[in-house]
Structures are given as C-alpha cells and as structure tokens.
Structure 1
Amino acid sequence: MSDLKSKLFGTCPYDAICTQACYAALRIFTGLGLALGHGLGKVPPAEKFVGLVSGLGIPAPGAFAWMAGLGELVGGILIALGLFTRPAAIVAGLTMLVAWYTHAFGPLSEAKGTFADQEKALLYLFVLAVFCALGSGKFGLDRLVFKNR
C-alpha cells in the first residue's frame, strides 16, 4: 500500500527523466500552441488586428502588430524546440501581458469583460514565466547548443 501511496502522492525530483519528459511535453505543446494557434494567424497582421493595437495607444501599431505576430510565431517555435527558451519566453510573455491587458482593461474589455476572456492569455503568461525561470530542460536544444548541464 505504501508503494501505491508513494506513486500517487510522492514527488519526482526535477532532474528525473519522468519530470523532464513531462516538462518537455509542456514546453512543446505550449510552443506549438502559441505558434500555430496564435502567431500564424497574425503574420501578416490583418487590418483588424492593427486597428486593435492602434486602439491601445501604442505608437507605430503596424510595426507592433508585426512584432506581436512574429513574437508568438517565432517565439513559439523556439520554445517548442527548446532553443533560446528564456529570451523567447520573455518576448512571448510580454505579448501575452499585452493580450491580457487588452481583454482586462483595453478595447476588448467592454465587449466581453469576463475572466474567461482573459484566462488564455494569463495561462500562457504563467507557463511562459516558468520557462523563463527553468529554461528548456534536459530535452531542449539549449542544452546541446550551449553545453548547459
């Protein structure tokens, strides 16, 4: 019984293969979801998206719309690969911060205004914060390219 209890309620060390495999799966799924589900549709940015960015009062809304789309597309791909994970997570996280602000306080807040509309950006933001803190893990390209432990 204690073996079952240990398996159900025990912890797995961060360096363990099972932990790193789960972390890699989260990183890959998050990166591909960000790239394909959000970034791909914003490159090139549609006029509606540029208008939304303009409504936030951000200078050069066309350039910012491109940066947001590329940050999600390229950043998501890099995160999925585990390459330049921390810088990519910072860029994508800033994009998610703006997305959250847009839904919480910006132009989209009046149209919808519920937490459910903010939830996706916040989930991405917090998962990206974990990638900023922990990097790519054992199964990312950062470890191979930069000879990290």
Structure 2
Amino acid sequence: MKTLLPATAPLGGHALDVAYLCLRLHLGVSIALGAGWSKLINFTSTNELSKLLWQPGALTAPDWFVAQVAQLGFTYPSPYFWAVLAIWGELVGGLLVAAGLFTRVAAAQLAIQFLIIAFFWYESPELIVGMYYQQLLFWAFVLIAAIGGGRYSFDYWLARRSARTAAGSHPRQAVIAAASVLVVFFTQPAAAQFARPLSTITSADWQPLLHADWHGTLTYRDYRSQQLVTLATQLHATQTAPQDLRLQYSYREPDGRTVAGTDHLRILADGTRMEWDGLLMQLHHKQQLPGHTLQLVLVGEGQDDNRPATIRHTVLLADQRYSVRKEVRFASDTTFLLRHEYQLQR
C-alpha cells in the first residue's frame, strides 16, 4: 500500500498542519460542491442546501459549460467528453484533496484545470501579478500538489499503518474498502456519461427538408408584452453549397400582411459545429428517435434582445415533420426561456 500512495510528511509543528488541513478542506470541498456538483445538477451556486441534494437522473454536463469548453478549442473527440471529464475531475478531485487521499495526484489534475482557466479562458491573464481568483486557485493546487496531504490526511495515516504489523492492518483495509466504494459510486454515473454516443452533423441529416414545401406555425415570444404570438408559416429549403442551406420563410402577420425571412445554415468541416445565421453553435446531442425522427441539440453563445445569452436549438426532423425550438438563457438566469418554435409539416 505504501508504494501506491504519494509520499507525504508532517509540515512541522501541529499548528502548521492544522492550518494546512483547514486550507485543504476549504479548497477541496468548495471545488467539489461549488464547481463539480453544482454543474452536474445544473445549478450555479451552493447558497441553498436544497441545491446539494441528490437528483436521480439529473447528472449531466450543462449546455453552457459544454459551450465554454468548445470555445476553448476542446472539440475532439467532443466538447461534451471534455466537459464531463472536467466536472468529475472537480468533484472527485476536490473530495480527494479534502480527505487527503491520493492528494498530490488529485491536486495536480486540478492545477492543470485551473491553469487552462486562469491563463487561456480568462480574458486578461497576468502571470503572478494578476489578482483574480482563478489564478489564486491554480497556485493553491500547485502548492498542495507539491506538499501532499500533510500530517492530517489519509495518505499520511495509511502510510504509517502500512508499516505496522498485520494485526493492525484491519482498520486500514476498512478504509481502503470504503474508499473503493466511493470511487465506484462516483465513477459509475461518469462512465455512463462518457458512453454517450458522439456524432457529427452531415448535410445528409438535412436532406428531408429539401425539394418540398412545408407549412405550419411559428410561435414566438413578444418581449414587449411577454406574450406568445403564433403566425401561419411556410418554408422552402434549398442547398446552396455542399455544406450550406438556405431556409426561406413566409409569415402571415395578425393584420393579414405577409412577410419573409431567411435562415442561413452552414456545417463546419469538423462536423461538430455549424453556423446558424452567423451564430456559431456546437452539436451537444444527436439521436435517432422512434418514427425515423432525427433529434439535434445545438448550443451557442450569442445575444438575444440585445443581451448576452446562451442559445439552444432543438431540431426534430422526419420525412413529414420539421420543428425547431429556440431557447435562450440570459447571463443572469439559470433556466432557459422559450424564444420561438417552428412546427411544420408537408
């Protein structure tokens, strides 16, 4: 067991080790709950105890975080893969740092995460002199990776126990068994998320739209009145290039006037992203549903109502049915709001 644990030792006097324990507990628990767990249950803070409660089936990487990962360039094999990896690294890594178990390994991977956040994601990085908390967390995890768990850690306790007689090994085995249960408990949902099929967008996905006239409705939110308005709508789609589509809409206004609108869609070369009227959107989910219906979920960062927002398009496409649900989440909100929805058939 001693060979499996990174070497650790007391820092010196007990007061110093107690202070270091408090630092480790704060960093580990705050990152595990405030960064990892809150993302998994799709909350952005831990101010309310109810937000920390287990929600079966709700554990997933939130769309806004997947979009951030994509913007950093982590698109292969999928930004969703890297988002899940980062979230579980925060959750499990934070708990291990707090417990002082495999402390150096856990702290090192968190230091790598905050290296990216502090110097690549942060808009104005300043090495050493920059006064922002992402860099502070980076250096804190570097410190813990260098020092280890200290006197009050499982690493230190287990290393000492391993040097004792076999008669004293039973408590150690119990701790190892408990740690193994925790690892299995936390990695099973993570493994299920990693198993999620990774797909790409192709021009063939959009072929059912072509060579047909579609009719139905557009329901949109009028921001002035906050009321939903429904218009009779027609659609004609054409392929203007191998990876480009033009969607031409005709709407009948409540006063009887007919107005036109156009959406331009372009699939990017990597197949995981597309531009929708100039907005860069990342493929978050692709699934074949019953009834030969294709579902695409696309997420991007842009503006709506002249405010920064995360924008999500959910597309359902079949031979006789086409729908697009656009939802927005403003920077100050935690939930998505329906912006508009097309329901069309031919």
Determine helix, strand or coil for the equivalent of 2:132.
helix
Cα deviation, residue 83, structure 1: 0.5
- Which of residues 17, 25, 29 in structure 1 aligns to 2:14? 17
The answer to whether the Cα contact below 8 Å between 2:32 and 2:92 also exists between their aligned partners in 1 is yes
Equivalent positions of 1:1-149 (< 5 A) are 14-43=11-40, 44-58=60-74, 59=76, 60-104=78-122, 109=123, 113=124, 119-147=132-160
Instruction: Return 95-104 or 23-32, whichever deviates more.
Output: 95-104
Corresponding residue for residue 7 of structure 1: none
The answer to whether the Cα contact below 8 Å between 1:28 and 1:81 also exists between their aligned partners in 2 is yes
* Equivalent position amino acid for 1:74 in 2: V
Cα deviation, residue 42, structure 1: 2.3
Moved segments of 4+, more than 3 Å? none
Cα deviation, residue 17, structure 1: 0.4
Distance across 2 between alignment mates of 1:14 and 1:78: 19
* Equivalent position amino acid for 2:37 in 1: L
TM-score by length of 2: 0.35
* Equivalent position amino acid for 2:145 in 1: C
Cα deviation, residue 45, structure 1: 1.2
Could you give the per-residue CA deviations for residues 6-56 of structure 1, whole angstroms, max 9, x where no partner exists? Answer: xxxxxxx93100000000000001101111111112222101110111111
Tell me which protein shows more strand as a share of its residues: 2
- Relative contact order (alpha carbons < 8 A, sep ≥ 6): 1 or 2 greater? 1
Cα deviation, residue 61, structure 1: 0.8
Tell me which protein shows more helix as a share of its residues: 1
Identity of aligned residues (%): 30
Provide closer, same or farther for how the CA distance between residues 50 and 96 of structure 1 changes in structure 2, counting only shifts above 3 A: same
TM-score by length of 1: 0.78
Distance across 2 between alignment mates of 1:85 and 1:131: 7
Corresponding residue for residue 3 of structure 1: none
Distance across 1 between alignment mates of 2:19 and 2:81: 36
Determine helix, strand or coil for the equivalent of 1:146.
helix
Instruction: Return 13-22 or 86-95, whichever deviates more.
Output: 13-22
Distance across 2 between alignment mates of 1:141 and 1:129: 19
Please tell me whether Structure 1 or Structure 2 has the larger radius of gyration of its CA atoms. Answer: 2
* Equivalent position amino acid for 2:27 in 1: T
Instruction: Return 94-103 or 46-55, whichever deviates more.
Output: 94-103
Could you give the per-residue CA deviations for residues 92-119 of structure 1, whole angstroms, max 9, x where no partner exists? Answer: 1111112113433xxxx2xxx587x971
* Equivalent position amino acid for 1:130 in 2: L
Aligned-residue RMSD, C-alpha: 2.2
Q: Structure 2: which 5+ residue stretches go unaligned?
A: 1-9, 41-59, 164-346
